[in-house]
Chains A and B, each alone.
Chain A
Amino acid sequence: MHSFGYRANALLTFSLTILALMCAMASVSDNLNSQSPTATVQVLNVNRFQKKSNGDDEVGITLDISADLQSLFTWNTKQVFVFLAAEYSTPKNSLNQVSLWDGIIPAKEDAKFSIKTKNKYRFIDQGSNLRGRDFNLSLHWHVMPKTGKMFADKLVLSGYRLPESYR
């Protein structure tokens, strides 16, 4: 009853249980955090707007993205993955979401940022439906914890419109 084997086994089980409990509590504590992120996005310029050889429209744009995501960070946050997606609908597709830019915020200090950037990923439609198209730009964030449940949300900014003709 008091052999090394029994003691080691009891110690291991107990420590694993405590560890699992701590991970669960850390994850639950994330729910107590109230979040108030803000963001603005400006389309500085439409650099390129053409129909490719296979018939799909492609847009190249320069964006000015400013955001303050500091309120999303808790002690259990490892990083926040943030990306900006253009969302629009066409006659063929009820919903299109195209990620234009993404970034990783490793710490709270870096969560308040303002950058000017060209779109990192190609903005290509399935078809030729982008001329004069209204679209929303939504800033999505994905909070990845040190342990436990991940959660994601977004901020939708509307009122953007692509030019009527190619350039």
Chain B
Amino acid sequence: MGWIGEQIDSVKSMQFRQLFTQAISLGMIVTSALIIWKGLMCITGSESPVVVVLSGSMEPGFKRGDILFLHMSKEPIRAGEIVVFNVDGREIPIVHRVIKVHEREDTGEVDVLTKGDNNFGDDRLLYAQGQMWLQRHHIMGRAVGFLPYVGWVTIIMTEQPLIKYVLIGALGLLVITSKE
């Protein structure tokens, strides 16, 4: 009870300028995070340089909750690469391995077939209706490195939005009421 009273007193005693400064520093933190994210997008050449593994289709290599670092270069797509791709009509990107490549002699375009290591069949079931192959424009990046377990934070926040709001609320409160 006394702690709540102290918090209310500290909120009341703040002047407008102090509040404004706090709000600006919060804005700066958010903006620099955004700059780092966009910078990573430029460096890796990929729309999302970091993805979280959501399903168990690549086990035991990648488990749910791992994060993958992506990189997209102009190098042609070859069998064995682990690629992240979007299927038309699905919003969640899929991370699977390329098992077949057919590259056209004349245009240089490729037809690619993928499969999750832990799945029995290839990904034709996941592609859009009538689609048998992926083309280069479907592919967002290749996985080049990974960190285990770190992605659980994102999974928890996505699947239990209550925790996300509680965290952001607590952070906001901390920023407002801190004395520095």
Chain A residues near B (Cβ < 8 Å):
23, 27, 78-79, 81, 83, 85, 89-99, 102, 104, 106, 121, 126, 140, 142, 144-150, 152, 154
Contact = CB atoms under 8 A, between A and B. Distances in A.
Interface in B56-90: 60-62, 78-82
A97 B105 contact: no
Contacts of A150: 82, 143-146
Contacts of B60: 78-79, 104, 106
A99 B145 contact: no
A142 B122 contact: no
Contacts, number: 83
- Quick one: which of B79, B104, B147 has the most chain A CB within 10 A? B79
A145 to B, nearest CB: 8
A97 B101 contact: yes
A93 B145 contact: no
B138 interface: no
B36 to A, nearest CB: 15
Contacts of A94: 103-105, 108
B40 interface: no
Contact of A93 (B61, B104, B115, B122): B104
Contacts of A78: 60-61
Contact of A27 (B80, B102, B145): B145
B47 interface: no
Contacts of A152: 80-81
Which range contains the number of B residues in contact with the other chain?
A: 20 to 34
Interface string B146-180: 11100000000000000000000000000000000
A85 B105 contact: no
Contacts of B79: 83, 85, 97-99, 140
29 contacts: A27-B145, A79-B60, A83-B79, A85-B80, A91-B105, A92-B104, A92-B105, A93-B104, A94-B103, A95-B101, A95-B102, A99-B79, A99-B80, A102-B99, A106-B60, A121-B99, A121-B100, A121-B122, A126-B111, A140-B80, A142-B80, A142-B82, A142-B97, A144-B62, A144-B146, A147-B147, A150-B143, A150-B145, A152-B81
B144 A149 contact: yes
A147 B143 CA distance: 13
